[in-house]
Structure 1
Amino acid sequence: MMSSSTSKMHHLDLQLQTTLMATTTFSHLTQASLCFFPPYNFVPSLLNSLLHYNRRSLQLSCSSLSSNDNDHNLRVVFAGGGTGSNVYPAVAIAEELKTSNPACEFLFVGSPNSIESTAVTSAGYNFAPVLSLCFSPVSSITLFQLCSSPCRFVKSLIQCSRHLRDFKPHIVVGTGGYVSFPVCLAAKINNIMVVIHEPNSAPGFVNSVLALFAHKIFVAFNSTVDSFPRNKCVVCGNPVRLSLRNPVSKAAARSHFFPGYGESSDSEKDKVLLVLGGSLGANAVNIAMLNLYHQMLRQNNGLYLIWQTGVETYDEMDSLVKNHPRLYLTPFMHCMDLAYAAADLIVSRAGAMTCYEILATGKPSILIPSPHLSEGNQFRNASLLADLAGVTVITEEDLDSCTLAIAIEGIFRDKKKMEEMSERALKAANPKASAEIAKHIFSLVRQSIKSGEIAKE
């Protein structure tokens, strides 16, 4: 009869063989593409060397399995970036895990000088930069493109493996974006459990690939299940930040943006329009608002405007927009909880997290999906919210100041419609999404430790 240690070693070796087979297939695909790139012909052998190195490391670590583990020091690596939709869910999950167990340790892995590096460090978590795969978020990615940059990919994979060996996580959570691919692949090579979260109504390229070896796939919407192996899927919604789940009062939020708010006006009749141009900026939305904002403020004394232009377009907008006591102009919104709490109506792009935060806060909205982002995710997100919550969708092709003005005025004038949109939005959201994901993560790690799939420490 095999000893407990031998049994665990045998179990781990079987899993590793499966991982090696999957990664060898990837290596063969890489090698096929390299016929067009002769200088990079060394890459497949380098990948194989990395695989065998990790196998030896795993075999050595198996001999040191300990029986005195408890799950109080859970270590989690989060991998995701490129857009807020891939970053803020990870932060929300970490917040929930920390609330449930303050002893948890986290490491976020992403691209340097990126939205994830800024957001993660601002939230107070440790961040490890790795080499980006350098694919644009506004164009589609193919396997050929991925394999045509082999040196960069292999270097990123090695960096990820080093971070994982140093941190020794129990589980890796991929939240989307190209940077999550090498992190999750390195985790699989190192026999570390992988789960992924898909915030969009339809998955992108990276999560579609990672789904092949992920233990669990957390999805936001029922319709997304059809795009993944059904037996792995858990429909739980998108995790929203803790601050959004504990909103401040509308009056307090408005006073933050407009000091002295309510002192000289009838606040019961006031309306606040929140315009979100995205973290970088949406030119079409900004231009439509530029031709509209002054007339709207002049005609309606009870209208207030909070306008996030985006970082890259702020200087231009700031030079063109006239100061007004009922206008708050900013390049980036650092206090989204206050912005949502203050708003009566939102005009926004249709990024995954923005859409779900609109649902979670129960705000009527007008969505203008970007036609430039990869794989048409924003249009699908906006269409789904139109079905779920009755939001108004304006395509960029149809967008101008007149169309936008008619849509805004039509919603503001129909109080019953605003109440209905708010009720439907709240009904469609799951405010406990982060708690459900955290519960699954704890459960998966405990089961894996108990069965010997991961080492006890």
Structure 2
Amino acid sequence: MKLYITGGGTGGHVTPGLAIARYFEKKQPQTTVRFAGSARGIENKLVPREGYPLDTIEIIGMSRSMSPKGILHNLKAAKLAVSAVSKAKKLLKQAKPDCVIGCGGYASFAVVRAAQQLGIPTVLLEVNALPGKVTQMLAKDADRVLVCFEQAKELLGGGDKIILTGAPVRGEILAADRAKAREKFGLTDDDQLVVSFWGSMGAKYMNEHMAGELALECKNGVSYHHVHATGAAAREWLPRMAKEQGADFDAHPNIEVTEYIYDMADRMAAADLIVCRAGAATLGELCMLGRPALLVPSPYVAENHQEKNARALEKEGGCRVLLEKDANPQVLYDEIQNLLSDRDRLHRMGRDATKLAAHDASEKIYQEILWAIENHGKK
């Protein structure tokens, strides 16, 4: 089996593809996988780190602005899209995949479109509640469109080829054990752990407010444990900013600031509360682990899809949603205190989050990809 997986720009369009690759290798050890993405996206870090080859294609997303600058940007984007499809065809002719899997993001457009024009089976995975523009443009000619929310299925018009599978989850998340994870970090039944992060690259605005929130925790001498991942961009200035606002991390070892949480599966499993963005891949992991969350959706993503993701989980009772415009240091601090003070509520939130967990998502996706390969071109 030869798979060609494409998607990128953000981790939410890369980690599902990695999960699919690992699951296929588990089911069919002879499977070979190549990835394709943008030269600028986070896939350039995540994919090679997992040991897969990555082909890069120069392509940029479209601007929604109708200003002269936006129009010039879109002219460049259209020109690059044409050349990117041409390059993608050459890459696909060399790779000869049995199927091309598009996981979203503008980086995936050229490869999936090229595969469709070459007659190669294509499967789209849409992880967000609101389908992205790339999915909308490519869905008509795809063999299968796999979605993670019922809302997405409805917005794409339904039909037999649009299948609700749920999002694939990394193997380490599936294997995580809460009791063992808490023992690993030396946490007793009475201890509480908050884990917070804004993504692998961080988010400047939210990290600025988190610096103030951490300072409040230090000044108020909170008893719970808090681990915050700054991301690469804020690794130096966030601790400094927090100290300028009164944080003394040496005097409060229960409050930890780190660039990246490498044992994220165990940290999340051990956590009593997770504070983070609302990307679909992250939500899938929260639901699988049954962890309560305070979600601050990014307002900078296409069509505000993170808030729609978060609201879907909030509707089930699995999270509390705080909009970024309201998320100043004091509000963040107060929200965390209020949630931690009600252990019964946290337990209910974690239980309710599991309602959206797709325990068999990887197997469903696997079977649908096999179906697409076997039935491609058949009426």
Code of the aligned partner of 1:217? V
Structure 1 partner of 2:199 = 278
Is the Cα–Cα contact under 8 Å of residues 209 and 328 in structure 2 kept in the other structure? Answer: yes
Q: Which amino acid aligns with 1:204?
A: G
Deviation of 1:151 after TM superposition, in Å, equals 3.6
SS in 2 for 1:230: coil
2:22 pairs with 1:95: yes
Q: Contact 2:319–2:349 at 8 Å: present in 1 too?
A: yes
Amino acid in structure 2 at the alignment position of 1:201: A
For 1:126, the equivalent position in structure 2 comes to 53
CA distance in 1, matches of 2:65, 2:361: 29
**Residue 43 of structure 2 aligns to which amino acid in structure 1?**
E
Distance 2:215 2:271 in 1: 19
CA distance in 2, matches of 1:385, 1:88: 20
Measure how far apart 1:140 and its partner are.
4.0
Q: Counterparts of 1:284 and 1:148 in 2: how far apart (Å)?
A: 29
Q: Percent sequence identity over matched residues?
A: 28
- CA displacement at 1:113 relative to structure 2: 4.6
Matched, 1:360 2:288: yes
User: Is 1:114 the counterpart of 2:41 in the alignment?
Assistant: yes
Equivalent residue number for residue 100 of structure 2: 172
Structure 1 residue 384 corresponds to structure 2 residue 305: no
Residue 220 of structure 1 corresponds to 148
Q: Any gaps of 5 or more consecutive residues in structure 1?
A: 1-73
Q: How does 1:61-100 map to 2 (within 5 A)?
A: 74-100=1-27
Q: 1:215: how far off? A: 1.1
Deviation at 1:314, TM superposition (A): 1.8
* Whole-angstrom CA distance in 2 between matches of 1:380 and 1:99: 33
Q: Which runs of 5+ in 2 are unaligned?
A: 243-247
Q: Deviations over 1:123-152 (max 9, x none)?
A: 111211111x2237xx64899765543442
- Per mean C-alpha deviation after superposition, the further-off stretch among 312-321 and 390-399 is 312-321
Pairing 1:247–2:247 present: no
Q: 1:445 is matched with which residue?
A: 373
Output the amino acid matched with 1:238: A
Write the letter of the residue equivalent to 2:38. Answer: S
Q: Deviations over 1:380-400 (max 9, x none)?
A: 111111102341111112111
Q: Separation in 1 of the partners of 2:178 and 2:302?
A: 37
CA distance in 2, matches of 1:164, 1:141: 33
CA contact (8 A) 1:412 1:418 kept: yes
Task: Report the Cα offset of residue 254 of structure 1.
Answer: 6.7
Across the aligned residues of Structure 1 and Structure 2, the Cα RMSD in angstroms comes to 2.3
Aligned counterpart in structure 1 of residue 111 of structure 2, from 165, 183, 194 = 183
Q: Tell me, in whole angstroms, the C-alpha distance in 2 between the residues paired with 1:122 and 1:301.
A: 37
Distance 1:416 1:433 in 2: 29
Contact 1:269 1:302 in 2 (8 A): no
Q: For 2:354, what is the secondary structure of its paired residue? A: helix
Aligned to 1:292: 213
How far apart in 1 are the matches of 2:77 and 2:327?
A: 38
* Structure 2 residue 162 is matched with structure 1 residue 233: yes
Residues 147/194 of structure 1: CA separation in 2 closer, same or farther (3 Å cut): farther
From 208, 215, 229, the equivalent of 1:308 is 229
Aligned length in residues: 367
Give me the whole-angstrom Cα distance separating, in 2, the residues matched to 1:150 and 1:427.
Answer: 42
Instruction: Please state how far the C-alpha of 1:319 moved relative to its aligned partner.
Output: 2.4
Q: Does the alignment pair 1:320 with 2:246?
A: no
- Deviations along 1:295-334, one digit per CA (max 9) or x if unpaired, are 3246455411110112112221132344342233222333
SS in 2 for 1:329: strand
Q: Matches of 2:54 and 2:174 in 1, distance apart?
A: 25
Contact map agreement 2:181 2:267 (CA 8 A) in 1: no
Which amino acid counterpart does residue 175 of structure 2 have in structure 1? N
Q: For 1:192-216, what per-residue CA distance to the aligned partner results, in whole angstroms no more than 9, with x for missing partners?
A: 0111011110011111101121111
- Paired with 2:361 and 2:368, the residues of 1 have a C-alpha distance of 11
Counterpart amino acid of residue 123 in structure 1: E
TM-score by length of 1: 0.75
Pair 1:404-2:325 in alignment = no
- Preserved contact between residue 12 and residue 279 of structure 2 (Cα < 8 Å): yes
Relative to structure 1, is the Cα distance of residues 204 and 110 closer, same or farther in structure 2, using a 3 angstrom cutoff?
A: same
Question: Larger Rg: 1 or 2?
Answer: 1
Q: Secondary structure at the match of 1:179?
A: helix
Q: Return the alpha-carbon distance in structure 2 between the equivalents of residues 183 and 335 of structure 1.
A: 33
SS of the residue 2:36 aligns to: strand
Q: Distance in 2 between matches of 1:413 and 1:340?
A: 19
| Counterpart contact for 2:9–2:40, Cα < 8 Å | no
Q: In the aligned structure 2, how far is the partner of 1:370 from the partner of 1:268?
A: 33
- Name the amino acid aligned to 1:247: A
> Which AA in structure 1 matches 2:370?
F
Of stretches 247-256 and 231-240 in structure 1, the one that deviates more from structure 2 is 247-256
Alignment of 1:136-215 (within 5 A): 140=64, 146=74, 148-215=76-143
Give the SS at the match of 1:323.
Answer: coil
